[in-house]
Amino acid sequence: MKLTKISTILIACFLVSGCAGASKKDDTIQSIRSQKIEIDPMLIQLDGKGSRESIDVGTLFDRAFKFFSERRFEEAIRDYDAIIRNFPESRFYQPSLYNAGLSYERLRRFKDAARVYEKILALPTQSKDTNDAYFRLATVLEELQNWERIQTIMTQILLRNGLSNFDRVEAYVRRSEALLQMGSHKEAADGFRNVFTINKKSELEERLDSKSHLIVRAYFGLGQSLHAQVSAIALVLPPSRMGSDLKKKGTLFSAAQINYIRALSAHHPTWSVAAGYMIGRLYEDFYTDILGAEIPTDLSAEHLTLYFEELRKQIRPLMERAVQVYEKNLSLSRRIGHKEKNKWVQETNENLRRLRSYLDDPETRSRAARFVQAGKNLKTLWDPIPIARDSISEAINQAHQPAEKNTLE
């Protein structure tokens, strides 16, 4: 993006230079009713009325599977839990842990699901099926927003031998997403870049297509990581530093936009709409970062008014571009078939509404200038409480002005 000099006053201050696709293993319930040579152990239970029920562990496992298939998850958990508590040495133990975890997930009992998946990871004997438990655990930990634990277990699985390219790519994507949530933006960006390198070097038959949900997710995540780095650079005086930092922001801005566009171009039902929203946010955030740049303290009230007028005029195209992107994103979401309740569609609608209001409402623009002068974060420009406080403060100031004028007269 080519940015021009904003105005004579501005030059004194500085120079302007978005489910995820489910893993292939997500809903695989484990069933091991293969032909048996040994005799399965028996479980003797009381039915609550004092009578006993004798049932072998294999039949109990099958009954739990039937309950799960019928979406009777509480009953499935009851039987799986009976196996887990009574037969830890049984060959049905690990599958029961895994299937109990799936049942807890269906009931949105994510802490319980995490607990049983953690038991699988702690087993002394590890198998290829253990990989599934790693990824299921990562999924429920995302719901619990336990990003540090996700980063740890995805690092662990990447150290395991015999991973397929799909599993390795997924582990890098999930680990990088966790790092992004933890604020490690540069490390997250490196992780997402590794996804593309690993996939490119994999055997042709294992290589993921550029429109695979994991690859699209990685482009989106890399865009977010770079976007966060753009926002982290504050525009502060002196002018020489401000000009240098603005150039860095512009470079990162372009890189973030490129990766969002790559995700958008895949027309993935989730990540493309998310990327469209984030491109609009990228322009919007860049606008507020420039508008909120540090101002010299020696500017008079008259010069401040001229400063903001000229600055808004010069950077208005950023806001107009954000509006255009949001409008196109809504059009894309309708073509893909998204409903209004979709998170990214809702976010796009809300941001489009408030940006149109900002561009058309002089009072909102004046409030933004007051926020900057008071050192407030412009990200709160549309939050109800800061708006209310500003309105009260402005009303008090307006009320004092006639009194001050009469006093002087």
92 part of a folded domain: no
Q: Which residues contact 141 (CB under 8 A, 6 or more apart)?
A: 114, 147, 149, 150, 153
Angle between helices 362-373 and 343-360 in degrees, nearest 10: 90
Q: Which residues contact 114 (CB under 8 A, 6 or more apart)?
A: 137, 140, 141, 144, 146
Alpha-carbon distance of 207 to 50, in angstroms, equals 59
Specify the pLDDT at position 339: 64
In the chain, the number of structural domains is 1
Alpha-carbon distance of 221 to 215, in angstroms, equals 10
366 part of a folded domain: yes
30 part of a folded domain: no
With cut-offs at 50, 70 and 90, classify the pLDDT of residue 269: confident
272 part of a folded domain: yes
Among 72-81, 260-269, 370-379, 389-398, where is mean pLDDT lowest?
Answer: 389-398
Q: Residue 56 gets which letter from DSSP?
A: E
Please give the average per-residue pLDDT across 352-364, as a whole number: 89
Kindly provide the b/e burial profile for residues 72-110, where b requires at least 16 CB atoms within 10 angstroms of the residue's own CB. ebeebbbbbbbbbebbeebebbbbbbbbbbbbbbbeebb
Structure tokens at 307: 């400063």
The amino acid at 254: S
Q: How many residues does the chain have?
A: 409
Give yes or no for residue 51 having a pLDDT over 80: no
**Residue with structure tokens 């699209």?**
216
For the entire predicted model, the pTM comes to 0.82
Structure tokens at 139: 């999924």
For CA atoms 62, 63, 67, 70, the dihedral sign is positive
pLDDT in tens, 307-354: 988 999 999 999 999 999 999 999 988 888 766 678 899 999 999 998
Which of residues 318 and 384 earns the better pLDDT score? Answer: 318
Cβ 104 vs Cβ 112: under 8 Å: yes
pLDDT in tens, 224-252: 999 999 999 999 999 999 999 999 999 99
Specify the pLDDT at position 351: 92
pLDDT in tens, 55-66: 789 999 999 999
Structure tokens at 133: 């438990």
Specify the pLDDT at position 394: 75
364 part of a folded domain: yes
Give yes or no for residue 293 having a pLDDT over 70: yes
Cβ 211 vs Cβ 266: under 8 Å: yes
SS (H, E, C) 365-400: HHHHHHHHHCCCCHHHCCCHHHHHHHHHHHHHHHHH
Please give the average per-residue pLDDT across 174-185, as a whole number: 98
* Bond prior to 386 in cis (omega within 30° of 0): no
Find the domain containing 344 and state its range: 209-233+240-396
284 part of a folded domain: yes
Give yes or no for residue 259 having a pLDDT over 90: yes
58 part of a folded domain: no
376 part of a folded domain: yes
Specify the pLDDT at position 32: 59
DSSP structure string for 225-289: HHHHHHHH----SSHHHHHHHHHHHHHHHHHHHHHHHHHHHTT-TTHHHHHHHHHHHHHHHHHHH
